[in-house]
């Protein structure tokens, strides 16, 4: 009521903007404890989240699962566990609601009893991948660091699609849940029973198998690992990378860098300069000055108006033709892969004890909900600027209805994953 309205006005003070604006930068970004308390009490799908984590056996998969809480003031409460949804609901409905809820591993014992236990080890957890937009700062000019928009979102979409292809086609896992991180990325949770039982070593090997990108973040050139570079030059690229190159990466590169309406397209001076630098770096000996100048000409350097060269697609076609004429056609594939391929934090995937935000919690810095996006089309169509916030849920009935639609999809997903018992015995008892 009145109190909600007053707090929202206070939260937007100094922003010199219409508080009803849909611009993500004009929304309040700091969550208040009373807001979180009301959200967790009335709208957080506590039973569904516990049902998901239980996989049909709450006595082990829920009771021995670590749930951690981040409280205001950067206070972290780790190794909490709950036997029933009602217990978690009671904890959330308190005077100190958490800013964030993280999900950890299933341990050999109740994690609250770890002190003094002879053995305390993580037994299982979903296989997870963290795709963070800040790792792509050297190939996007529209935003930097913590910011993300529809112009650069295709980078996240491409990475998510590539991971899905590898996980489903090369490893046979099927139960993947993509969750918006609440700020600038996607978390991919692989929930198959067999995937949850992978060791840290197996998870690390799997992550490295997918990771061919060698650089991340600003200040470094986009690149690929030496093995992939050699395979590209010799025309013997890994079959799965070949498939995703054709089916995912090349169309995604075109949708971002060859789109006339995208700020990051190859008519952007910084992007054009980056492409020339990447190609020069790949072939410093074979590339002659005349070749560099020719490449720059095709990309519009030395011309006041690059649009005179035609569309972005025309410009890129000329670059490709030039490279193929020099028998350097692999350079074009190199650029597209180096710009678009997933840039993964291997340790996040490798370690079962790594914590990751729970679905449906609000991000404490943005107020945006970590909603699940099961269909890859949903990831592609998702607009991070319009993501549902905790403020929306508390004040807008239509947003609450949209949240329920996400919950319905989540419930369907839970039914499928619970039925999957895997090839090995799923539930382990106390060690």
φ/ψ region of 162 (left if φ > 0, alpha if ψ in -120 to 50, else beta) reads: alpha
Task: Specify the pairing of strand 65-71 against strand 100-107.
Answer: antiparallel
**pLDDT tens figures, 76-93:** 999 999 999 999 999 998
List, in sequence order, every residue forming a beta bridge with 19; answer none if it has no partner: none
Chain-centroid distance of CA 266 in Å reads 25
Residue 306, pLDDT score: 55
Residue 166 has pLDDT above 70, yes or no: yes
Contacts of 204 (CB under 8 A, 6+ apart): 346, 349, 350
Under DSSP, is residue 340 helix (H, G, I), strand (E, B) or coil? helix
Q: Which of 131-145, 223-237, 305-319, 415-429 has the lowest mean pLDDT?
A: 415-429
Residue 327 has pLDDT above 90, yes or no: no
Residue 350, pLDDT score: 97
Answer yes or no: are the C-beta atoms of 258 and 264 closer than 8 Å. Answer: no
**pLDDT tens figures, 240-259:** 999 999 999 999 999 999 99
**pLDDT tens figures, 395-413:** 999 999 999 999 999 999 9
270 burial type by CB count under 10 A (0-12 exposed, 13-18 middle, 19+ buried): exposed
Under DSSP, is residue 208 helix (H, G, I), strand (E, B) or coil? helix
259 is catalytic: no
Chain-centroid distance of CA 302 in Å reads 38
Residue 304, pLDDT score: 57
* Token digits of residue 233: 């030059």
Which member of 51, 99, 130, 137 is catalytic?
A: 130
200 is catalytic: no
Which member of 32, 51, 66, 126 is catalytic?
A: 66
**pLDDT tens figures, 262-286:** 999 999 999 999 998 898 888 756 6
Q: Supply the pTM of this predicted model.
A: 0.89
Residue 167, pLDDT score: 98
**pLDDT tens figures, 194-204:** 999 999 999 99
270 is catalytic: no
Which member of 110, 132, 137, 192 is catalytic?
A: 132
Q: Where are the alpha helices (DSSP H) in 211-329?
A: 226-233, 239-244, 250-257, 269-282, 289-298, 312-325
């Amino acid at each position: 009521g009145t109190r909600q309205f007053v707090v929202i006005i206070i939260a937007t003070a100094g922003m010199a903007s219409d508080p009803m604006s849909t611009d993500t930068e004009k929304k309040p970004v700091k969550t208040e404890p009373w807001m979180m308390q009301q959200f967790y009490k009335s709208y957080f799908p506590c039973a569904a989240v516990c049902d998901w984590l239980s996989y049909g056996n709450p006595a082990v998969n829920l009771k021995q699962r670590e749930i951690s809480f981040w409280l205001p003031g950067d206070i972290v409460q780790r190794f909490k566990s709950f036997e029933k949804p009602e217990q978690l609901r009671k904890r959330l409905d308190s005077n100190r609601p958490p800013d964030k809820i993280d999900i950890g591993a299933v341990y050999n014992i109740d994690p609250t009893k770890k002190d003094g236990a002879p053995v305390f080890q993580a037994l299982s957890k979903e296989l997870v991948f963290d795709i963070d937009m800040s790792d792509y700062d050297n190939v996007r000019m529209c935003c930097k660091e913590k910011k993300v928009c529809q112009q650069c979102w295709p980078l996240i979409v491409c990475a998510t699609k590539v991971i899905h292809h590898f996980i489903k086609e090369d490893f046979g896992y099927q139960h993947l849940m993509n969750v918006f991180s609440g700020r600038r990325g996607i978390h991919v949770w692989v929930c198959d029973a067999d995937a949850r039982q992978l060791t840290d070593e197996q998870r690390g090997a799997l992550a490295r198998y997918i990771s061919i990108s060698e650089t991340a973040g600003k200040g470094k050139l986009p690149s690929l690992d030496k093995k992939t570079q050699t395979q590209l030059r010799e025309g013997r690229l890994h079959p799965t990378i070949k498939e995703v190159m054709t089916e995912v990466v090349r169309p995604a590169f075109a949708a971002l860098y060859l789109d006339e309406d995208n700020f990051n397209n190859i008519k952007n001076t910084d992007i054009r300069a980056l492409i020339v630098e990447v190609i020069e770096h790949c072939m410093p000996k074979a590339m002659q000055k005349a070749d560099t100048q020719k490449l720059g000409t095709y990309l519009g350097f030395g011309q006041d108006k690059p649009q005179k060269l035609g569309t972005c697609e025309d410009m890129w076609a000329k670059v490709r033709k030039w490279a193929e004429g020099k028998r350097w056609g692999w350079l074009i594939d190199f650029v597209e892969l180096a710009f678009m391929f997933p840039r993964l934090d291997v340790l996040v995937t490798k370690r079962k004890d790594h914590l990751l935000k729970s679905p449906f919690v609000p991000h404490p810095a943005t107020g945006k909900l970590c909603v699940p996006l099961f269909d890859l089309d949903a990831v592609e169509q998702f607009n991070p600027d319009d993501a549902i916030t905790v403020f929306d849920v508390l004040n807008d009935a239509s947003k609450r209805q949209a949240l329920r639609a996400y919950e319905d999809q989540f419930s369907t997903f839970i039914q499928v994953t619970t039925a999957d018992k895997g090839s090995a015995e799923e539930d382990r008892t106390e060690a």
